[in-house]
């Protein structure tokens, strides 16, 4: 496992002392894990970018207001913020009334507002493999535990507390996520 040379807490202290580069280093360190976690929750690349920005802006304000109590857990703290913001967006989206056409179909179901440009497409193709497609097919609670444990570095106990289930349930969801992914991978290989 790659060890970070400068501990997160030293970077946080340095940032609060006025060193902007320390924040940039923290963002660079965790940007992929945070964005990927958000994307896997909201399934929309552009919305994920927006929530990514919102997350770190909230991180900045919370740090400046002294709301962050370090316990060696900077990434899990950021992931909790990202998860809460993602859930807020999902709830807001569900509350939005559907705009239907003359045949009663949801307009946003077939209108693509903005096509990705060539660079975005290349980036998506390079990073979005079969595994991501299969993860999206997992039941929500299994996918969430997988994301929080793997990318968010939350312990199973912390996941249990955050999602309101027992540790055994969190472990069971993770186990089923892994086993279901294998089943789907075998199925895909057999069809090829």
Minimum CB distance to another protein smaller for 3 or for 94: 3
Min dist. Cβ of residue 23 to another protein (A)? 6
Q: CA 49 → CA 31, 52, 58, 113, distances in Å?
A: 11, 5, 14, 16
Minimum CB distance to another protein smaller for 21 or for 107: 21
Q: Which residues of 141-171 are buried (b: 16+ CB within 10 A; e: fewer)?
A: bbbbbbbbbebbbbebebbbebbebeeebbb
Minimum CB distance to another protein smaller for 9 or for 36: 36
Minimum CB distance to another protein smaller for 90 or for 132: 132
**101 CB burial (10 A radius; 0-12, 13-18, 19+):** exposed
Contacts with another protein by CB under 8 A lie at: 18, 20, 23-24, 27-28, 31-33, 35-36, 39, 45, 48-49, 52-53, 56-57, 60-61, 64, 123, 127-129, 131-132, 149-151, 155-156, 168, 171-172, 174-175, 178, 181-182
Determine contact, residues 118/112, Cβ cutoff 8 Å: no
Min dist. Cβ of residue 16 to another protein (A)? 10
Strand partners, 100: 106
List, in sequence order, the alpha helices (H) in 96-166: 118-127, 130-136, 140-150, 156-163
Minimum CB distance to another protein smaller for 9 or for 62: 62
Min dist. Cβ of residue 8 to another protein (A)? 16
Min dist. Cβ of residue 38 to another protein (A)? 9
Min dist. Cβ of residue 96 to another protein (A)? 24
Minimum CB distance to another protein smaller for 155 or for 163: 155
Q: Helix, strand, or coil here: 100?
A: strand
Min dist. Cβ of residue 189 to another protein (A)? 13
List, in sequence order, the alpha helices (H) in 43-73: 45-64
Nearest CA to 42 out of 143, 151, 165 is that of 143
């Amino acid at each position: 496992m790659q060890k970070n040379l400068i501990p997160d807490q030293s970077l946080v202290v340095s940032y609060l002392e006025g060193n902007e580069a320390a924040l940039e280093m923290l963002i660079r360190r965790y940007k992929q894990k945070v964005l990927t976690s958000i994307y896997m929750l909201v399934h929309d690349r552009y919305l994920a970018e927006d929530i990514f920005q919102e997350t770190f802006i909230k991180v900045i304000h919370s740090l400046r207001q002294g709301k962050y109590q370090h316990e060696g857990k900077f990434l899990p703290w950021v992931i909790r913020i990202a998860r809460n913001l993602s859930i807020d967006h999902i709830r807001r989206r569900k509350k939005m009334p559907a705009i239907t056409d003359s045949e009663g179909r949801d307009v946003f179901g077939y209108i693509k507002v903005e096509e990705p440009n060539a660079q975005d497409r290349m980036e998506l193709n390079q990073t979005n493999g079969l595994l991501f497609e299969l993860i999206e097919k997992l039941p929500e609670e299994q996918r969430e535990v997988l994301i929080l444990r793997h990318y968010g570095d939350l312990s199973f106990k912390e996941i249990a507390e955050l999602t309101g289930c027992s540790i055994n349930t969190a472990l069971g969801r993770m186990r089923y996520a892994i086993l279901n992914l294998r089943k789907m991978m075998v199925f895909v290989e057999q069809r090829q």
